[in-house]
Structure 1
Amino acid sequence: MVDYALARLNMVESQIRTNKVTDPALINAFDTIPRELFVPKSKRGIAYVDEALEVGAGRYMLEPMVLARLLQAALPKPGDVALDVACGTGYATVVLSKLVSVVVGVEEEPSLVDSGNANLEALAIDNAAIVNGPLAQGYGKQAPYDVILIDGGVETVPQKLFDELADGGRLVTVEGGTPTEPGVAVLYEKLGSHIGRRILFDAGTPLLAGFRREAGFVF
């Protein structure tokens, strides 16, 4: 039988602390949230490996190190409102719930919405909810957001999500990547009408279908 508490400790010590993650509240969230609850039962034995894990319907949970470093760069604060796009079964939503005031997760696969909300209920998370809707549209009813996490790889970030960022808001995701070359983790910051972009580190994770660039015209 897998000792999940020990596996979680090893994840924190070997994957997160050793990769420039220093925020105490963030480390505590990873140390206390049972990641195995968010993957199919057949994959619980590998819930803490350092790779992206498919949770169903082609959706993946980000590698723990990548998620931790993205969230640290986003500087979540206790009074913030956050949006978790492509939240799958809700793991990153729950991590965010420990760091901010309110979290909305958006997922377009109904079965994952149901699983995610069941996970929130099982863990008694009362400051987060997962809603069903098109990922690239975000969730305008709760906007603006201080923090937006796109929980997967993208080729491009839809303008709609930038529109839902608050002034001073931060958006983090992984851009690009191929089977042979890594993508990059990026931080976008909104100041007035200006959107700044900063590359954080090399990272790779499966691309989300709704976030690909439109093919250009070729002669």
Structure 2
Amino acid sequence: MSEFASRRVMMVDTQVRPSDVTKFPIIDAMLSVPRETFVPDDKREAAYVGENLTLAPGRVVLEARTLAKLLDALDIQPTELVLDVGCGLGYSAAVIARLAETVVALEEDEALAADAQRLLSEEGVDNAVTVTGKLTEGSATCAPYDVITIEGGVEEIPAAILAQLKDGGRIGAIFMDSAVGTARIGYKAGGQITWRSVFNAAAPVLPGFAKPRGFVL
């Protein structure tokens, strides 16, 4: 077993399983996708550390525990279409692709998007497509989606994204309140979304997902 493969097993055994993630497809995906491939070259040695990894200003690869718990709560099915908002270099999309039928991986940073497409292709992930566009606008072309995941913190979610969720669908995001965050799952029914808090987590707020700040005199 290669050194990175053994670190992957260690990550699952020490970060994912102890966090009550028990669904086999998620464990299998986390064991199978080479996280070190989907991080910047200078972060490869830190790929399996239990923390968010910086990709660009305000952009991270979510720590394995956070991603696994979010996916566990979303319970993605093999027939479902998923929009992965802020896919970065494609790690989350590669993991989700092992759970879903198809993943639309949205990235607005053109360099990250190009690298994500290349890395996903090199890893043989043929059911994930990378789309370049503003994160706040989602990707209407393939909407509506069964599931939407947001790879970073939010204070609020733009209406355009919520509109792209299928009725009966689920959306998962980390809502930040200053330094404190809570992962929530939203369930859409009758055009309305009901949110449920599932666990504590933190991530930088994605550009465009902060609440407008009022002026204070």
CA contact (8 A) 1:38 1:55 kept: no
Deviation string for 1:120-150 (max 9, x for gaps)?
Answer: 1111111111111000110000000011000
Q: CA deviation at 1:59?
A: 1.9
Aligned partner of residue 208 in structure 2, secondary structure: helix
Query: TM-score, normalized by length of structure 2?
Result: 0.96
Runs of 4 or more above 3 Å deviation: none
What do you get for the CA RMSD once the two structures are aligned? Answer: 1.2
Q: Kindly, what percent of the aligned residue pairs are identical?
A: 40
- Give the drift of 1:218: 4.0
Partner of 1:202: 200
Letter of the 1:110 partner, please give it: E
For residue 182 of structure 1, report the CA deviation from its aligned partner. 2.0
**Aligned-pair distance for 1:192?**
1.6
CA distance in 1, matches of 2:57, 2:79: 33
CA drift of 1:57 comes to 5.0
Residue in 1 that maps onto 2:55: 55
Aligned to 1:29: 29
Q: Any conservation in 1 of the 2:58–2:207 contact (CA below 8 Å)? A: no
Contact 1:177 1:205 in 2 (8 A): no
Matches of 1:66 and 1:58, distance apart in 2? 17
1:54 Cα offset (Å): 1.1
- 1:117-196 map, 5 Å: 117-178=117-178, 181-196=179-194
Contact 1:148 1:165 in 2 (8 A): yes
Gaps in structure 2 of 5+ consecutive residues: none
Query: Letter of the aligned partner of 1:26 in structure 2?
Result: I
Distance in 2 between the 1:35 and 1:57 partners?
20
Q: Structure 2 CA distance, aligned partners of 1:218 and 1:17?
A: 46
Q: Tell me the equivalent position of 1:67.
A: 67
Structure 2: how far apart are the matches of 1:169 and 1:217? 36
Q: How far apart are the structure 1 equivalents of 2:191 and 2:115?
A: 37
Q: Deviation per CA, 1:90-123, whole angstroms, max 9, x where unpaired? A: 0000111000111001111000001100111111
Deviation at 1:53, TM superposition (A): 0.2
Aligned residue-pair number: 216
SS at match of 1:216: coil
- Contact 2:50/2:63 (<8 A) preserved: yes
Aligned partners of 2:122, 2:59: CA distance in 1, in Å? 21
Q: Counterparts of 1:88 and 1:42 in 2: how far apart (Å)?
A: 15
Asked whether the equivalents of residues 177 and 204 of structure 1 are also in contact (C-alpha less than 8 Å), the reply is no
Between the aligned partners of 2:187 and 2:169, the Cα distance in structure 1 is 6
Deviation for aligned residue 1:194: 1.9
Q: Deviation at 1:186?
A: 0.5
Q: Compute the displacement of 1:216 (Å).
A: 2.6
